[in-house]
A = this chain, B = another copy of it.
Amino acid sequence: MLQTFVDTPSPLTPDHAPAPATTPPCAICRIRKMACCDGLFDGSPGRSLIKNRTRATAARQNICRAGEPNEGVLVICEGWAVRFIQLPNGKRQILSVVLPGELVSPAAILEKQSAFSVQAVTDVRYRYFTFAEVRAGILDNPALFDTWIRLTAAEHRSADKRLVDLGQRTAQERIAALIVHMMLRCEERGEVRDGEFPFPMSQQQIADFTGLTPVHACRVLSSLRHRAICNIGRGVAKIIDRGELERIGSFK
């Protein structure tokens, strides 16, 4: 797995080759300045990230499963991951998409047992912080406390928005909203060029996120493509008519 990650960067990994896991990756982390881990931990030498090894999981593999004891607080260093809940009948709901530099779930930071699973969308590099580190960091440092409050509140607002999405909006609106949302997040990271950005989610994953069947997700994507609004496929999203896409995807 690790070998896969180091030797065969997927088409979606940045031009700069990913660091081998033995190099302190945070030192060269492209998004370190915007990453939660930077604000949360790099300041205190004793708790610096650098001494923690990263791990890797190949695309489409699970990083952790609901019900397993948590190893600590999970942060994605590189690649896309999704947080999801699997039902006994085989259906699953993707709860959120996690990008590099983000905590997988700020609100679940002290949960000893996870209520959700996490899957790698692309090849992913990630690391854990121990509960003790995180708890002490937050209680020691009021600024960290506020940062963490802000992250938790943001995650919560985002969950509320998703509820509105799933409860009140059509298939097309949900898919457009997902594309717009990912576009904005990629834009912040400087990953959008000529209206194109990495979009590694499969149609099955898009369906699991939006609460649709893969077949219907495919039809909606075809329709968006056919109407020259955007073209999603092969790991890349190309936005053609941004105004129209945002109009469809925004709350009405």
Contact = CB atoms under 8 A, between A and B. Distances in A.
A92 B167 CA distance: 9
Could you tell me the dominant secondary structure of chain A's interface residues?
Answer: helix
Interface in A182-237: 210-211
Given A108-B156, A153-B110, A160-B95, A167 B210 contact: yes
A168 B95 contact: no
Interface stretch (A39-47, A71-79, A82-90, A238-246): A82-90
Contacts of A61: none
Contacts of A2: none
B115 A164 contact: no
A95 B252 contact: no
Given A163-B163, A168-B91, A105 B156 contact: yes
Task: Please indicate which of the listed interface residues A95, A142, A156 has the most CB atoms of chain B within 10 Å of its own CB.
Answer: A156
A159 B83 CA distance: 13
Interface residues of A, number: 38
Nearest to A138: B145
Contacts of A157: 108, 115
A89 B251 CA distance: 8
A111 B150 CA distance: 9
Contacts of A132: none
Interface in A68-120: 85, 87-89, 91-93, 95, 105, 107-111, 115-116
A85 B159 contact: no
A107 B168 contact: no
Given A105-B156, A152-B107, A155-B156, A87 B166 contact: no
Given A107-B107, A166-B167, 5 more contacts: A85-B161, A89-B252, A108-B157, A139-B142, A166-B211
Nearest first, the 4 A-B pairs at minimum CB distance are A167-B211, A107-B156, A166-B166, A159-B159
